[in-house]
Structure 1
């Protein structure tokens, strides 16, 4: 297996990196958590921008190794902690000022021909297989005044995320919108029902090329805005 393909950052990751670089004050001196570091580029960026500390929770052993290697390469390992485990169950009682994540959220049960780890990309038929547990546990680990930032593609239905956040005393808002190329092998994994629902309303074709829309979503405590 080609490690470059395995850990090559996606357009979603690039958008998250841009967000962090545009808002360095939100990173500086924070206790940061990344859920699912993957290649390690987001975690490394958090530390390079001055996070006090950064914890990474990662399901895949190969991704833990990749993140460790990148942090070592960049001289950022001293303020980092990596835990291999399943989302919040691996997080203990920690609370964080900044939580960032690019979870698997493509609306498919499996994705073939991706050259990536089996746990990456596919988020179940509605894309929410990992997103919902993330949101359900976020309130226990987001510090007062804290902020969570997540990538959020069109399949997830922002109104559902907004309602889940609201029920937990949190507020979700779209920080900005973007679009990414949709490879043919991923397009082929969409069910006919999902494709019919979103074609022209979140997934778009131009000639032989397809694109999918996604957002960056900020989540904060409602009482912090009062």
Structure 2
């Protein structure tokens, strides 16, 4: 995969194995519209920009929006719209062909929460599903028929529950790829809207 110039910021998630698991398995066709929730540094969107020129990214962390803008400029990428806000708030009434999300999937207790915007990147609440469930509740409203959702989560945040929720919502969902680390599997779930 082509390398990019990548600036980082202490308040923004630094791309790790989960970011690249998503970036290396993108299912995007030329001309499709793409929404990435929680773009962080913008690395996944930069890979997506090689496949289509209709990309919108959102992040609840303003520092991430600024960092992504800086990274897109550093790599001469001009086809990505950056919107600040939580989940689907910035794209009300819009639909996309592909929706990407490296979810904040870590189960966190009160003592795990950090006082920084970086907290948004990993804080999944007590069961790791706080943001995942909010995302699943809305994702169908923003996906075109025949579209795909590609999301990263962890075995710590109950992959089976995500798969069954997607099934209930009318998607065909599968674990497309996974990587094992210490005590957990990081998984890429692909869900197709029929």
TM-score strictly above 0.5: yes
Question: What is the CA distance between 1:180 and its match in structure 2?
Answer: 3.2
Secondary structure of the corresponding residue to residue 214 of structure 1: strand
Three-state SS of the structure 1 residue aligned to 2:137 is: helix
Question: Quick one: distance in 1 between partners of 2:117 and 2:123?
Answer: 11
Q: How many residues of Structure 1 are paired with residues of Structure 2 in the alignment?
A: 186
Matching of residue 88 in structure 1 with residue 88 in structure 2: yes
CA contact under 8 A between 1:101 and 1:149: conserved in structure 2? yes
In the aligned structure 2, how far is the partner of 1:127 from the partner of 1:150? 14
Task: Tell me if the contact between 2:63 and 2:117 (Cα under 8 Å) persists in the aligned partners.
Answer: no
Q: Is the partner of 2:147 in helix, strand or coil?
A: strand
1:188 aligns with none
In the TM superposition, what whole-angstrom CA distance separates every residue of 1:90-129 from its partner, at most 9, and x where no partner exists? 2111111111110111011353689871212120111001
Tell me, yes or no, if the aligned pair for 1:123 and 1:130 is still in contact at 8 Å: yes
Q: Partners of 1:113 and 1:85 in 2: how far apart?
A: 20
Q: Give the Cα–Cα distance (whole angstroms) in 1 for the partners of residues 157 and 109 of structure 2.
A: 14
SS in 2 for 1:213: strand
Q: Which residue of 168, 187, 193 maps to 1:215?
A: 187
Unpaired runs of 5+ in structure 1? 182-202, 204-211
Gaps of 5+ in 2: 1-7
- Aligned 8 A contact 2:152 2:186 in 1: yes
> Which residue of 2 is the match for residue 29 of structure 1?
31
* C-alpha distance in structure 2 between counterparts of 1:70 and 1:8, whole Å: 13
Q: Give 1:63-212 correspondences, 5 Å limit.
A: 63-77=64-78, 79-109=79-109, 111=112, 117-180=118-181, 203=183, 212=184
Which whole-Å CA distance do the structure 2 matches of 1:39 and 1:108 have between them?
Answer: 22
Q: Which has the higher helix share?
A: 1
State the TM-score, normalized to the length of structure 1: 0.76
- The answer to whether the 8 Å contact 2:150/2:191 transfers is yes
CA contact (8 A) 2:12 2:121 kept: no
Counterpart of 1:68 in 2: which secondary structure? Answer: helix
Shift of the 113–83 alpha-carbon distance from structure 1 to 2, 3 Å rule, reads closer
Task: Give the TM-score of the pair, scaled to structure 2.
Answer: 0.88
